[in-house]
Amino acid sequence: MAERTEYAPGIFSWTDLSTTDPESAKSFYAALFGWQSEDLPVPGGSVYSMQQLEGKNVAAIAPQPPQQREAGAPPAWQSYITVTSADDAARRAGELGGTVHAPPFDVMDAGRMAVIQDPQGAFFIVWEPKSNIGAGLVNVPGALCWNELASPELDAAPDFYTKLFGWTVEPFEGGATRYLTIKAAGKANGGMREAQPQEPTYWLVYFAVDDVDAAMNRVKELGGRAIAEPFDIAMARIGVVQDPQGAVFALYAGQLEP
């Protein structure tokens, strides 16, 4: 059981879905991963819906902010990275050529966060935990297990993140395409690859499953679609899908970190 009670700075610790139809999304992911929802009211009359497995928070689903909808942004899974100080991280990101789209702000007593875009265009969130560390369960079926940057400039992308988070980025040998592995606090913490033609620059969120092919079929039955049909890599089988509202995520069955 990969339970977590804390995350070291620089570690991916949370993901949430910003979507145009939270109720439909909750039904989709409950049927796919077995998530149970706990709806939490937030200021302004909205709801932040915690998604749980075995009573532990693994992700969340929330309405897409009006400004994102008005800008034509699609629903998306968002990647959170733990930091000691959201203010310091946001300031440093700006110094390194990133763009701070949402300056640091408090999320009630849960933590403090900022929304940042890297120099190549990928968005991510820095999270300074207070009462909420992030996911209480990872690296098990139905939970977050990997985060992967698709970037059009793979030679340039690592520099920003290594300077911001202190990551070590190393080539993964033996793959069919160029791939970089991210390490933080001595452990594998995600990856980077070149974006495919017409693919946006973004952080792709992976969820573990027991059987990728079965999960892919279930996605289709529930109204989603395949972006990349299941294929094998060195240590796992993966596939990339889109939920009925348009959010993209990946399925992973294979070796998992403890």
Q: Tell me the Ramachandran region of residue 237: left when phi exceeds 0, alpha when psi lies from -120 to 50, beta otherwise.
A: beta
User: How many other C-beta atoms are found inside a 10 Å radius of the C-beta of residue 97?
Assistant: 13
Alpha helices in 144-248 (DSSP H): 157-165, 212-221
DSSP states along 139-162? SSTTSEEEEEEEES-TTTHHHHHH
Fold of 144-254: 2,3-Dihydroxybiphenyl 1,2-Dioxygenase; domain 1 (3.10.180)
pLDDT above 60 for 1 = no
Q: What is the pLDDT of residues 120-144, one digit of tens each?
A: 999 999 999 999 999 999 999 999 9
Give the neighbor-by-neighbor strand order of the sheet with 248-254: 168-171, 179-184, 187-194, 144-151, 202-208, 248-254, 236-242, 225-232
Q: What is the pLDDT of residues 165-176, one digit of tens each?
A: 999 999 988 777
With beta carbons less than 8 A apart as the criterion, state whether 242 and 216 touch.
no
Q: What is the pLDDT of residues 3-53, one digit of tens each?
A: 999 999 999 999 999 999 999 999 999 999 999 999 999 888 899 999 999
- Say how far apart CA 144 and CA 12 lie, in whole Å: 9
- Mean pLDDT, residues 110-124: 97
- Say how far apart CA 167 and CA 158 lie, in whole Å: 9
With beta carbons less than 8 A apart as the criterion, state whether 115 and 65 touch.
no
Q: Which CATH number fits domain 12-129: 3.30.70.330, 3.10.180.10, 3.30.470.20, 2.60.40.10?
A: 3.10.180.10
In terms of Cβ atoms closer than 10 Å to its own Cβ (0-12, 13-18, 19+), residue 30 is middle
107: pLDDT confidence band, cut at 50, 70 and 90?
A: very high
- Cβ-Cβ contacts under 8 Å for 100 (sequence gap 6 or more): 90, 93, 94, 114, 115, 116
Domain boundaries, the chain: 12-129, 144-254
The amino acid at residue 63 is P
Total residues belonging to the chain: 258
With beta carbons less than 8 A apart as the criterion, state whether 38 and 30 touch.
no
- Domains 12-129 and 144-254 in one fold: yes
